[in-house]
């Protein structure tokens, strides 16, 4: 069997090197310093790393970092069982709004770095890179609680984009005593272990492949986010990752995904890595179509044979 892609895949599977990781760590430390310099936020916020860097699926020369800023005061956003409310659990309204918190985070970042270094986006602040730090997306979030009828709950994070709506994510154990399920980070670690450490390498390869396809002008590559690629590989069965070569695993993964994203019926039960949200549920069916278009183009790009 020809190994024309094996050299590239072997390189792409590796995590960023020491120098790049050191720049990321300096960025995280710097943001913590910026929040600690603000009197209000220093005692009411927690800085944590999320996204591809935290989950160890970031790729070389593509290593921005996602930073969450969690409000740690007495305000949280709940989901209660049908027919129940906060009074059933002894909860009262909090005293701080998300919009105020986001504005306070913006002021702290601007005061520390200067206005030119910080751009406010719909969901996050873009802290621009320089010689000492990487580009960072800084996302203010509040605690989200999903309650059960017995009063137990699991915790995620919730944010409100400037253009409306809300987003709930399930990154990892932000408060150890409030969690009884594995979430995104823990699930990724387990799958990586169960696949002989091939899962995360395959995610990195497909993300770098997406970049190469974009450079080659493949239309389906650019709009495909890295998070979607990570979730696609997560839903690939563990017995797919059994090749002696990275090329074997990548081709098997693409073949499985190509076959199972053609129709929504075949992937309707797929979830995000956290397993708290469905990956493709909802209307219109654009995300599943986007995923299939990317996999179909990747199939052609590397010459997968049916």
Q: What integer pLDDT is reported at residue 134 of this predicted model?
A: 74
What pLDDT is stored for residue 11 in this prediction? Answer: 87
Q: What is the end-to-end Cα distance of the chain in Å, rounded?
A: 15
Helices marked H in 216-245 — which ranges?
A: 226-234
Structure-token match 């709940």, residue found: 78
Yes or no: say if 231 and 279 are a contact pair by the CB < 8 Å rule.
yes
Compute CA distances 121 → 8, 126, 134, 138, 164, whole Å.
35, 7, 17, 10, 13
Pairing of strands 76-79, 136-147: parallel
**Whose CA is closest to 125, among 100, 101, 102?**
102
Domain 17-179: give its CATH code.
3.30.460.10
Q: What is the mean pLDDT of each run of 10 residues along the chain (306 residues)?
A: 79 76 82 94 87 55 75 91 90 90 96 95 90 84 91 89 90 50 74 91 92 94 91 95 91 96 95 87 89 96 77
């Amino acid at each position: 069997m020809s190994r024309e892609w094996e050299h590239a895949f072997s390189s792409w599977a590796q995590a960023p090197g020491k120098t790049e990781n050191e720049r990321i760590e300096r960025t995280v430390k710097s943001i913590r310093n910026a929040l600690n310099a603000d009197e209000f936020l220093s005692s009411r916020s927690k800085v944590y790393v999320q996204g591809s860097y935290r989950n160890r699926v970031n790729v070389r020369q593509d290593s921005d970092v996602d930073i969450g800023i969690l409000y740690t005061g007495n305000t949280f956003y709940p989901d209660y069982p049908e027919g129940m409310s906060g009074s059933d659990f002894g909860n009262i309204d909090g005293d701080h709004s998300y919009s105020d918190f986001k504005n306070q985070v913006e002021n702290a970042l601007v005061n520390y770095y200067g206005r030119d270094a910080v751009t406010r986006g719909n969901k996050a602040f873009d802290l621009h890179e320089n010689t000492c730090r990487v580009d960072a997306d800084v996302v203010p979030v509040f605690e989200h609680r999903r309650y059960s009828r017995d009063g137990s709950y699991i915790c995620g994070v919730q944010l409100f984009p400037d253009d409306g709506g809300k987003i709930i994510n399930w990154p990892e154990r932000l408060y150890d005593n409030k969690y009884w399920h594995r979430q995104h980070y823990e699930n990724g670690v387990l799958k990586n272990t169960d696949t002989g450490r091939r899962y995360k390498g395959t995610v990195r390869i497909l993300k770098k492949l997406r970049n190469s396809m974009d450079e080659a002008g493949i239309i389906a590559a650019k709009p495909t986010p890295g998070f979607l690629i990570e979730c696609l590989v997560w839903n690939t069965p563990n017995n797919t990752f059994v090749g002696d070569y990275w090329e074997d695993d990548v081709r098997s993964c693409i073949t499985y995904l190509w076959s199972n994203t053609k129709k929504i019926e075949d992937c309707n039960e797929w979830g995000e890595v956290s397993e708290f949200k469905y990956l493709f549920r909802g209307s219109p069916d654009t995300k599943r179509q986007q995923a299939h278009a990317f996999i179909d183009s990747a199939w052609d790009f590397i010459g997968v044979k049916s």
